[in-house]
Amino acid sequence: METIKLREEYIKLGQALKAAGLVESGVDAKFVIQDGLVKVNGVVETQRGKKLYDGDLVEFEGQQINITK
C-alpha cells in the first residue's frame, strides 16, 4: 500500500494517482478515472478533480493509496 502525506488540506484524485506512480501522466489519470477503474473509499469515482482528505483510501488495479495528514 502506497501512502501519500498531504501538504495541503487535500489532494485531487488525478494528482494522487500520479504521485503514487500508478499512472504516467495526468492524461492517463483522466482516462482510467473516466473509465470507472478507480475507487475512492470503496465507491467508483469518475471525477478526476475529486478532493481526497486525510483517511481516504484509493484503489486502482489491485493497488491501494492511503491518504494521510
Domains contained in the chain, number: 1
Cell 488525478, residue?
A: 14
Integer Cα distance of 56 and 24 in angstroms:
22
Which residue segment(s) compose the domain that 63 sits in? 2-68
CATH number, domain at 26?
3.10.290.10
Q: Summarize pLDDT for 18-69 with one digit per residue, the tens.
A: 999 999 999 999 999 999 999 999 999 999 999 999 999 999 999 999 999 9
Give whole-number Cα distances, 51 to 23, 24, 35, 57, in Å. Answer: 18, 20, 18, 12
pLDDT of amino acid 1: 87
pLDDT of amino acid 50: 96
Residue 33, classed as helix, strand or coil, is helix
pLDDT of amino acid 6: 95
